[in-house]
Each structure stands twice: as structure tokens, then as C-alpha cells.
């Protein structure tokens, strides 16, 4: 009997990781968990380790790893606990791992995801930043390592499902495709008066109307930066120019994206807004497995609405488009500044409408370079973070002196 494929889940305690483990739980006869990783959530990782019994458990934070070690010592002494970036990279490339769920949010997930690609794994890509920061270099690693790259973002997974039979992400421009329609919910403030946006609270921004997501991604959805990052990601995944991509606001989040062909056909992937569907699809592709998701009831859905995005309301989408056109390290700078600005907003240090301002100022301040090595990309990432943090501090000082 063939051994079940081994899985590493990077970011196991986040929303993607939790959904991934739910799909694995429903299909435990098909998959085995080799490694689980988290940042600081010891309580949840302990529970996951006791249920799934991985060989390795990794905490990005060293103090959290010590707590995890102490708590697993009695109940699961056979699980090896490690910490830090080097350990994250190690479990992404283990020989007995066949598939890596890249679910770490932000730039922190870049190097482990690159290692999974270099090691020839099936990479389930939920981490946008690997492609946003280092698209060309990352795709080179996928090709050189012989990895299978399968998109997990609901929109990119939908596009993948609508692509010609046999198409694989990163294999070149798909035959017969003339346009990719990237749908967006518009987030919780699609119809909020513009003069009210500056008073938006973190709690309001994290209250997405359709999806249950982590706080950072929820804010990105509210600003539509997530769609800007997804646009950049789609260009790399499907080897298409930006001119072949169109963003559509679709408030119901039922159609997850569409692909238009030269014969006039438009193929769409529909489903309830639940990340377990694209996770299950990517995990089992080309087969289909149980995801625990209810089948879409079209009678209850009743209507499907579409509208163009308002770039005055959503300047982050414009900034992402401009960063893609600028090339080089612009996308890495965009991503870094966004992470810093969103973090500051969630901590109450800037208001909601300051997020795009911090990003735009950082892009103007940081000197862009050719993105010809991971070292350069990480250096630019660090410079952009320092620049964005200083701009936020300056805004706070100015506000304090008013």
C-alpha cells in the first residue's frame, strides 16, 4: 500500500492553516501531517499537534517555542520542536514532505515558500507575497526544482479551474485566453460615504461581509490592496500582461473569477465563499475530495451583480497597478509599506485613510532596484519598512503637536 502524501502546513494556526487541517481531517485516510508551524499562538498549535501528531512543530518566535516544548513534553514527547526562520525553511524542504501549504501571511513566508519550490514540492500557494515580492525569481525556482505550483487564493484557484485542460501555473500563457476577470467583493466599505472612511475602526475593517479571514487580510480586503496584490500575482501565475486582467466588484462573492476565450466563451467558477474549496482542490488536484462545504444553492443566490472598482475609494488598487508597471523591487516596497501601514492601523496609530498615503510616500522615497536576487529583495523590504515606520512616527508627532 502506497504511503499517504506528507504535508507541511506553514502558518497552521491562521485561517488558511485551520481550514487546511479541517480538509485533512475529513480525508485522513489520504494525507498525513509531517510538520506544523506557527508564529506565536501556542495554545492552538498544541491542540493541532495533539490531534495530527506531526513529526515537527515550529514556532517563528523562540519564546513561544519554549512554551510549546514544555507543554508537549508530557503528552507528545516524540514531536520535535524547533524555532526561527531556519527551522521554517527546513520543514518546507523535508524529504518526506510531498506537499507544502504556504499559508504564512506577509513577507515572513517568502523564504520557506521558496525552499518548497526549490525542493520540488507541490506548493499550495496561499501566500501572495512570494510572487508579489520576487515573482521572476520565484517562478525560476519553481521551474528549476520541478515543483507543482497550485494557487489557493479563491480568485486564482478559480482562474486555474477555468484554464485549458492540462494548463499548469507558470507554464506559459494559456492558449486561447484573451482576458482574465478577477472578482472582488468590495469589502465592508464599498458603499460607505468617502468622508466617513477616516473614522473607520479596526473592528469595522475586520468585519468582512462574506469571508472569515485573519485581521491583516481583512484590512487588505477593505482597502482593496488584496486585489492589487492578487493582480500582480495573477500576472506571474498565468504569464499574462496586466492588460489581460480586469478587476470587477462582485458583492455576492459567488463567482470567484472568470476566464474569457477568443471564441467568445466566458468560463466562471462559482461556489460558496469558503476557503476549504480551493484548499481541497489544490490538495487533491486533479481529483476532487470532500471539503465540508455546502453546495451552492443558485435559487437562494438569486442575483449576481458587477461594477467597476472606484479608484478614488480604493487608491491601494491603483498603487499596486503602478508598482507592477514600475517593475524591479517596486512590488516588494509596496508590500512592505502596506504591511507596516496595516499593522499601524490595527494598533490605532494611524487612521484607515492614511494607509494608502504611507504606501505612496514610501514608494516615492525608496530608491527602486532590479529584483535580481533574494538578498536585494529582502534589503529593499527592510528599507521600505524602516521608511514606512518613520513616516508613521512623523504623522504621530505632527498629530501630537496639533
Domain boundaries, the chain: 6-151, 312-402
Convert the pLDDT of each residue in 156-203 to its tens digit.
Answer: 999 999 999 888 887 888 999 999 999 999 999 999 999 999 999 999
Convert the pLDDT of each residue in 138-153 to its tens digit.
Answer: 999 999 999 999 999 9
Other C-beta atoms closer than 10 Å to the C-beta of 78 total 8
The pLDDT assigned to 138 comes to 95
- CA–CA separation, 334 vs 321, rounded Å? 10
The pLDDT assigned to 402 comes to 62
- DSSP, collapsed to helix, strand or coil, labels residue 15 as helix
Phi, psi of 224 (to 5 degrees): 70, 15
Provide, rounded to the nearest whole percent, the portion of the chain with pLDDT above 90: 90
- 89: cell is 525553511
- DSSP, collapsed to helix, strand or coil, labels residue 290 as coil
Which residues make beta-bridge pairs with 80?
A: 56
Split at pLDDT 50, 70, 90, the class of 221 is very high
Other C-beta atoms closer than 10 Å to the C-beta of 303 total 7
Q: Tell me: pLDDT of 212 over 80.
A: no
> Which of 35-49, 160-174, 208-222 tops mean pLDDT?
35-49
- 351: cell is 487612521
340 within 8 A of 390, measured Cβ to Cβ: no
The CATH number given to 312-402 is: 1.10.1740.10
Peptide bond into 286 cis (omega under 30): yes
Strands of the 56-59 sheet, one edge to the other: 80-83, 56-59, 32-38, 6-10, 99-102, 122-125, 148-151
Q: What would the mean pLDDT of 385-400 be, rounded to a whole number?
A: 91
- CA–CA separation, 342 vs 348, rounded Å? 10
- 130: cell is 512570494
The residue to which cell 466588484 is assigned: 249
DSSP state of 322: H
What is the architecture, at CATH level 2, of domain 6-151?
3-Layer(aba) Sandwich (3.40)
Q: What would the mean pLDDT of 376-387 be, rounded to a whole number?
A: 96
Other C-beta atoms closer than 10 Å to the C-beta of 334 total 29
Split at pLDDT 50, 70, 90, the class of 399 is confident
- 306: cell is 458587477
Which residues make beta-bridge pairs with 124?
A: 101, 150
Q: Tell me: pLDDT of 394 over 80.
A: yes
Helix-strand-coil split of the chain, %, nearest 5: 50, 15, 35
Query: Sign of torsion, CA 20 25 29 31?
Result: positive
Q: Tell me: pLDDT of 113 over 80.
A: yes
Amino acid at each position: 500500500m502506497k504511503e499517504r502524501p506528507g504535508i507541511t502546513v506553514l502558518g497552521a494556526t491562521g485561517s488558511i492553516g485551520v481550514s487546511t487541517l479541517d480538509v485533512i481531517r475529513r480525508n485522513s485516510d489520504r494525507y498525513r501531517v509531517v510538520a506544523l508551524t506557527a508564529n506565536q499562538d501556542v495554545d492552538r498549535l498544541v491542540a493541532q499537534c495533539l490531534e495530527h501528531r506531526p513529526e515537527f512543530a515550529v514556532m517563528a518566535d523562540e519564546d513561544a517555542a519554549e512554551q510549546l516544548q514544555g507543554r508537549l513534553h508530557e503528552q507528545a514527547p516524540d514531536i520535535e520542536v524547533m524555532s526561527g526562520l531556519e527551522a521554517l525553511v527546513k520543514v518546507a524542504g523535508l524529504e518526506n514532505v510531498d506537499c507544502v501549504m504556504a499559508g504564512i501571511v506577509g513577507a515572513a513566508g517568502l523564504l520557506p515558500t521558496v525552499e518548497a519550490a526549490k525542493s520540488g514540492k507541490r506548493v499550495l500557494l496561499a501566500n501572495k507575497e512570494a510572487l508579489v515580492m520576487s515573482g521572476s525569481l520565484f517562478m525560476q525556482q519553481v521551474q528549476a526544482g520541478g515543483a507543482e505550483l497550485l494557487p489557493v487564493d479563491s480568485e486564482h484557484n478559480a482562474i486555474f479551474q477555468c484554464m485549458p485542460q492540462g494548463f499548469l501555473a507558470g507554464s506559459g500563457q494559456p492558449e486561447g485566453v484573451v482576458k482574465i476577470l478577477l472578482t472582488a467583493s468590495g469589502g465592508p466599505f464599498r458603499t460607505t460615504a468617502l468622508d466617513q472612511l477616516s473614522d473607520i475602526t479596526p473592528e469595522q475593517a475586520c468585519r468582512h461581509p462574506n469571508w472569515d479571514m485573519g485581521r491583516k487580510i481583512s484590512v487588505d480586503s477593505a482597502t482593496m490592496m488584496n486585489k492589487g496584490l492578487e493582480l500582480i500575482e495573477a500576472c506571474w501565475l498565468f504569464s499574462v500582461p496586466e492588460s489581460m486582467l480586469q478587476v470587477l466588484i462582485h458583492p455576492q462573492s459567488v463567482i470567484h473569477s472568470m476566464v474569457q476565450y477568443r471564441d467568445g466563451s466566458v468560463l466562471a467558477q462559482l461556489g460558496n465563499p469558503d476557503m476549504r474549496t480551493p484548499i481541497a482542490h489544490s490538495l487533491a488536484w486533479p481529483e476532487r475530495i470532500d471539503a465540508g462545504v455546502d453546495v451552492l444553492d443558485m435559487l437562494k443566490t438569486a442575483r449576481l451583480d458587477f461594477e467597476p472598482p472606484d479608484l478614488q475609494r480604493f487608491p491601494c488598487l491603483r498603487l499596486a497597478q503602478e508598482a507592477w508597471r514600475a517593475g524591479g523591487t517596486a512590488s516588494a516596497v509596496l508590500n512592505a509599506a502596506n504591511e507596516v501601514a496595516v499593522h499601524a492601523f490595527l494598533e490605532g496609530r494611524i487612521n484607515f485613510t492614511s494607509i494608502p498615503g504611507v504606501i505612496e510616500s514610501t514608494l516615492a522615497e525608496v530608491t527602486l532596484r532590479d529584483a535580481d536576487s533574494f538578498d536585494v529583495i529582502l534589503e529593499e523590504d527592510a528599507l521600505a519598512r524602516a521608511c514606512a515606520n518613520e513616516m508613521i512616527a512623523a504623522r504621530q508627532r505632527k498629530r501630537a503637536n496639533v
